[in-house]
């Protein structure tokens, strides 16, 4: 009898230890999440041509701990179709890697986050790789001309301003002859906020292409290499206009969305974009000239 009581006592002690250890782990995780909630991960859209090079995808992580918050040195990549990979975190928290090869035409959703053994499993973000045939006509559209700056923290559900109806209508007309590629020239967290508004405010779908602030010319040249049939660009930024004009593409300037108070001036500007780009190019003439 005493032997059986000994077995029961051992089991009781083991259960008590398990509960105690589990409680310590949960408390430690909760403490880590509370103290490290200021880690931010931004995942950027990628672009690629059918049958072309593997699309390059990027992410940016920032927070306590310098370039590699949480002590992680790489991030995992998971596409909805099952492809997985990883990317190293480099200087400034920027991570990059080539995605899967031979993706079919269309948008391909993917997620980036910390690996399964990380102390933080809630650090995750999503982006889209857009694959179109190489000859697809595209129109570059400055995101600054469509959406005003948005709060960088949290998810906002604010409705679009009234004037956006005119801009969205113009973009839908332009999208009938060339697919829009939205140029987002900002830091990483402002990029995520701009992309949220582009998706929610009813403008034609297209990639939000990150124009790294320090490298606009090289980013525009890389985008041209993916889809070279560029009709031109509708831009609000003088810097972007100059860089795009140096590539030989036509540019129409419109007011930035943050200064869209004059409805008549806004309509006139976008009417100029319609007159320049809404008609398909004449056969034999160079695109964007």
Render pLDDT for 189-216 as a digit per residue (tens, 0 to 9): 899 999 999 999 999 999 999 998 888 9
3 state DSSP class of 171: helix
Contact criterion met (CB below 8 Å) for 80 and 100? no
Fold classification of 138-277 (topology level): Rossmann fold (3.40.50)
Interval 261-273 mean pLDDT:
87
Q: In the chain, what are the domain boundaries? A: 1-35, 40-132, 138-277
Residue pLDDT, tens place only, 35-69:
445 788 999 999 999 999 999 999 999 887 666 77
Q: What is the pLDDT of residue 22?
A: 42
Q: What is the pLDDT of residue 270?
A: 94
Residue in the block written with tokens 């909760």? 30
Between strands 106-113 and 124-132, the pairing is: antiparallel
Q: What is the pLDDT of residue 18?
A: 44
Whole-number percent of the chain with pLDDT over 90 = 58
Whole-number percent of the chain with pLDDT over 70 = 78
Q: What is the pLDDT of residue 232?
A: 96
Which residues make beta-bridge pairs with 102?
A: none
Q: What is the pLDDT of residue 245?
A: 95
| Dihedral over Cα of 192, 194, 195, 200: its sign | positive
DSSP state of 70: G
Q: What is the pLDDT of residue 247?
A: 95
Read off φ and ψ for residue 212, nearest 5 degrees: -60, 125
122-126 contact pairs (CB < 8 A, 24+):
122/33, 123/39, 123/41, 123/61, 123/70, 124/41, 125/41, 125/42, 125/43, 125/59, 125/192, 126/43
Report the C-alpha gap between 39 and 120 in whole angstroms: 10
Q: Tell me if domain 40-132 and domain 138-277 are identical in fold.
A: no
Interval 217-226 mean pLDDT:
96
Read off φ and ψ for residue 192, nearest 5 degrees: -60, -40
Q: What is the pLDDT of residue 153?
A: 55
Q: What is the pLDDT of residue 281?
A: 65
Q: What is the pLDDT of residue 184?
A: 96
Has residue 115 got a pLDDT over 90?
no
Fold classification of 40-132 (topology level): Immunoglobulin-like (2.60.40)
Higher-pLDDT residue of 7, 267 = 267
Average pLDDT over the chain, rounded to an integer: 83
Position 76 confidence tier, pLDDT thresholds 50, 70, 90: very high
Rg, C-alpha atoms of the chain: 24
Q: What is the pLDDT of residue 17?
A: 39
Interval 11-16 mean pLDDT:
44
Contact criterion met (CB below 8 Å) for 68 and 43? no
């Amino acid at each position: 009898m005493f032997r059986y009581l000994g077995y029961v006592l051992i089991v009781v002690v083991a259960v008590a230890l398990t509960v105690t250890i589990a409680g310590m782990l949960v408390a430690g995780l909760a403490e880590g999440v509370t103290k490290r909630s200021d880690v931010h991960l931004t995942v950027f859209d990628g672009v690629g041509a059918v049958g072309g090079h593997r699309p390059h995808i990027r992410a940016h992580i920032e927070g306590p701990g310098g370039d590699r918050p949480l002590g992680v040195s790489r991030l995992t990549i998971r596409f909805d179709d099952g492809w997985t990979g990883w990317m190293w975190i480099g200087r400034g928290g920027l991570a990059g890697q080539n995605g899967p090869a031979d993706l079919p035409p269309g948008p391909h959703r993917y997620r980036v986050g910390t690996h399964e053994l990380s102390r933080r499993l809630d650090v995750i973000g999503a982006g889209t790789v857009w694959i179109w045939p190489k000859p697809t006509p595209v129109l570059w559209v400055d995101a600054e001309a469509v959406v005003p700056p948005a709060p960088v923290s949290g998810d906002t559900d604010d409705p679009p301003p009234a004037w956006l109806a005119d801009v969205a209508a113009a973009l839908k007309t332009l999208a009938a002859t060339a697919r829009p590629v939205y140029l987002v020239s900002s830091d990483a967290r402002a990029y995520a906020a701009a992309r949220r508004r582009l998706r929610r405010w009813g403008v034609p779908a297209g990639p939000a292409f990150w124009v790294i602030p320090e490298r606009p010319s090289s980013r525009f040249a890389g985008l041209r290499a993916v889809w070279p049939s560029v009709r031109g660009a509708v831009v609000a930024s003088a810097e972007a206009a100059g860089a795009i004009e140096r590539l030989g593409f036509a540019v129409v300037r419109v007011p930035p969305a943050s200064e869209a108070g004059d409805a008549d001036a806004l309509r006139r500007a976008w009417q100029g974009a319609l007159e320049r780009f809404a008609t398909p190019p004449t056969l034999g003439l160079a695109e964007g000239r």
